Structure 1
Amino acid sequence: MFETEERRPLTVTELNEEVRSTLERDFSNVWLEGEIVNFSEPSSGHWYFTLSDGSSVIKAACFKGSNWRIRFRPFDGLLVRVRGKVSVYGARGEYQIVVESLEPVGDGALKVAFDQIKEKLRAEGLFAEEHKRSLPFLPKRVGVVTSPTGAAIHDIINVLSRRTHTVDIVLIPAQVQGDIAPKSIRDGILLANEFNEAASQKDRLDVLIVGRGGGSAEDLAAFNEERLARTIFESEIPVISAVGHEIDVSISDFVADARAATPSAAAELVAQREDDLLERIRGFEERTYALLMMRINEGEVRLNSLSETGAFRDFPERIRRLSEINERMAASLSSSADSMLSEAKQRVTLLEQRLSPVRLMADVESRKDRLANLHERSSIAIASFCRMLTDALKNEAGKLHALSPLNVLQRGYSITRTAEGRIVNDAHEIRQNDRLNIRLARGKIEAEVLSKEDGD
C-alpha cells in the first residue's frame, strides 16, 4: 500500500509573492506602447492609469519618486511608450507594470510639456501685455543671470563695452543646463530682487538679462519650467529673456517684460536708449550750427550791400549810419548767440543728470567750445570790416568780442564746482576737506579745501 505524501497548501499571499518575484525577475526592464486610459493623480503624488492597445489592457503605476523626472503631465488618450518592470499588486492579485520612464509617441515629451505649461500660464494671464513693464530709459546697472563660463556673458560684455561706457554689469552666476538649472536660475532672480530691496538707489539693478547661448531643445529646457516662469513674472526688476538663437522660443520669452533673440541682442536693447539720446544731442548741435551760420551769412550780405553803394559823399554821416547798423547787428548776433548758448546750457544740464558726468561733460565742453568759436568768428568778421571804415567801428567790434563767455576766464577768473558738479557762489556752501573742481580758461584743477573764510 502506497502512502500519499501530503503537501502544505500555499496561502494566497505566498502565491502572489511567488508570482511577483518571478515576474520582476523575468520582466525587470520592459518597454510597452499603448494609449493612456483612466489617468488619476491622488494626493499622494503617484500616477495611476491603464495602458491599452485596443485589444488588451494592463494596469500601470508611476510612483512619485519616478514621475518628478517626467517633464509633462500625462492625460487620457495620449499614446505613450513606457519602460518599467512587471509586478503584482498583492492586495488584489492584479499584475501591473511599475513605470520608471514615460514619453509620448510622436511629439516629444519636451514639446508636450511646453504646450501644457504655455497654455496654462496663458490662461492665467501671465503673458498679458498689461503686466509687462517698460525697460528703464538709461539703465546704469544691469544684472545678468547666466553661466559665468558660457558664451552669453562674454557676448553681453563685448556689446555693452563697445556701445556704452555708462552701464555697470553685475553677473549673478547660475547653472543654465541640467536638472538643477531651473532652481539655480530662480535663485539668481530672487537674489537680485533681495539685493535691490536692501541696496541704495544708486546701487540698485535697473534691469535683468536672463538667458544663455544656443543649444539643443534639451539644453534649453530649463527656461520652459513653470516655477521659473512664475519667478520671472513676480520679479520687481524688469526682465529681458535672451535664450538661445533667434529661432529658439522658450516659456521665459512669453512671460518676461521683453524678449531678445540672443544674449547679444539683449545687450543691444539695453544700450539702444543711450544711442537715441546721443543722436538727439547731435541733431541739436547741427540745428544750432545751421542757425548761427544763417545769421552770419545774413550779416555778411547786408554789409556787402552797403559797401557796394559807391563813394561816400558824406563820410562822417556814413560813418555814423554804419556805426548804428553795426551796433544793431552786433546786438542781434550777441543776443541770439547768448540766447542759444543759454538754452544749450540748460538742456545740457538736464542731460548731465541722466548720463555719465565724466563722459557727457567732455562732450558738452567740446560743443560749447564750438559754439563759442562760431560766436567769436562772427565777431571777428564784423570787426575786420569795421576796421576798414573807422577806428570807432573797431571799438564797437572790440566790445562785441568782449562779450564772449570764455573771455571772462581769460581775464583770470575761474568757475568752481563741488564734486557733485554744483557751482560754488558762497563759502557757506562748502566745508573743510571738501573736494572742488576748478575750471580755468585752459584746463581744470582738482583741489581740497584746507580752510575757508565765510563772507559777510
Structure 2
Amino acid sequence: MTSPADDRGLFEAAAPSANAEHSHNAPARSVSELSAALKRTVEETYSHVRVRGEISQPKLAGSGHCYLRLKDDSAVIDAIIWRGSYSRLSVRPEEGLEVIAVGRLTTYPGRSSYQIVIESMELAGQGALLKMLEERRRRLAAEGLFAPERKRPLPFLPRTIGVITSPTGAVIRDILHRLNDRFPVHVLVWPVLVQGEGAAQQVARAVAGFNALPADGRGAVPRPDVLIVARGGGSLEDLMAFNEELVVRAVAASDIPVISAVGHETDTTLCDFAADLRAPTPTGAAEMVVPVRLDLLAQVHEGGQRLTGSLRRLIAERAMRLEGLARGLPPIERLLEEQVQRLDERSERLTRAGRGYLDRRLAEVRHLGAALRSPREQIAAKQAQLGQTAAALRSASDYLMRDQATRLGHLTTRLRPDGVLNGMARAERDLEGLGQRQHQAFERRLADLSQRLTAASERLQASSHEAVLRRGYALVRDEQGAVLSGQAAAVAAGAVRVQFHDGDVSAQVHGPLDDGSAPGPAEPPARRPAARKGKAGDGRQESLF
C-alpha cells in the first residue's frame, strides 16, 4: 500500500518523462551510424546459429563466393558462403536440398537486409542419403562387384605397400607407425583428398596409377604388392567420397589386392564391399598387412608414443595460447566481407552497363550513317538548283527587255516625229544602257553562284571518305561489300577487301593482333577553305552551299 503523498511523488516523477517523449533533443543519427549499430547488435546476438531449411537459387559468383537462400513454408533468409568455407563443404549447395546450415547472422547495409554467413553445412537428415546408398549398393552388387569369388588373398610378407590417403592427416602417421612397429617395409604414399570436391576422382586415379606401374620391377618406382585405401573417422557426409561409384569400380577392377581402412570400426562404406579385405581402422589395416616383429619394437613404439603425446600436448598448449591472443584481434575476413560483396555487385553492374552503352552508341552511329547523303548527290542537287536559278534570271531578263520595248513603242506612237527626235534618241540610249547593266548584273550573279557552288563542292569532297582514303587510311569490307567497323567483325569475316584511294586489294585475316603496339599517328585536321567575302554593303551572308 502507498500513501497519497507517495502517489503524488510517483506522478511528479513520471510527468517529466511524458514531456520528454514530445521533446526534440534526441541526437539524430546518420544512416551509416544506425546501420553499423544494427550490424553490431545482430552479429553479437546471433554470432552462432544453426538453421534448417531448403536451398533456393544457389549461385556461384566469379570470385568463388556462393549466394543462396534458405526457405521453409513461411519465410526466406538470404545466405552467403565465402570462398574459403565453400571449398571445405562436404555437401555442395543444390536447388531443393534440405540442409542444416551453421554460421552467424550479419547485415548488409547496401540493401538494408540481413543474411546468414554459412560456415558449414550438412544434410537435414540421413534417411534420404542412406536410401540412396542402399539403392547404389544393390545395383553394384547385382553387377557382381561385391561377389566373394572376386576377393584375392593378401601376400604374407609384402615388400612394398601403397597407401592412398591424405598426406597431412593423422592416418598416414598411424599407418607408418604401426608398420614400423610390426615390420618395417617400403611404403609408397599417393597423396589424395579424402573429403570434399574432387576427392573421389583423386582416389580412383590413385588406384589406377598404382596398377599402371610395371609389374616386373624394372621401372623407377616399384609396384606395390598390396594397397591400403585409408581415411580417419567422420560423419556419413565426410565419408561420401568412398561411397562414390567411381571409387567402387576402381577398387573392384584393381589387379593389386586392396585393403579398405575407411573410418572407424562402426563406419561402413561401399568401398569396403568392393575391397579384398576390410580393416576396422587404418591402424588395423597396418596390422593386417605385415606380421609381428620383435618385442623390442613395441618398447620403442611406447617411447615414441610418449614423445608424440608430449609433443601434441605442447602443440595444444601453444595453440590454446595463440587462440587466446587471437581473440583480441578483429578478424580481417569480417572487415572485408561487406566490401567483397559490394565489389561483386559493382562488377556485375559495370559489365551490364558497358554492354548497354556500346549497343546504344552503335545504334546511333548506324542511324546517323543511314541519314547521310553522298557528296555526289549533294553536288547534283546544287547544280540542278543553280540551273533553275539561271533559267529564272534569263526569263526575267527577256521579260524586262520586251516590256521596255513595248513601252518605247507606245511612247513613239504618241509623240510627233518633229518634236521628239532628240527624246527618242535619249530613250534608246537609256534603254540600251539598261539592257547592258542588266546583262552585266546577270553575268556577275551567275559567276558568284558558280564560285559558291565550286567552294561547296570542294568542302564536300574534303569531308568525304575518299579524301580520307587519300590521306593514307583504308576502308575494310567483307566479300559481300558490307563495311567492317571492328576487329571482331574482321576476324569473323576471314577474307576482306581493303579499299585505298587508288583501288581495292584483297586480304586474309588470321586473328587479332595483341602485341601492345602503340596506336598510329593522329589524323591531321583537314584545311577548311577560306570563306569568300561578300561585296561591301550588300548585307548578304554566305551559306554552306
- Which bin holds the TM-score, normalised by the shorter protein? 0.3 to 0.5
The two structures have a TM-score, normalised by structure 2, of 0.33
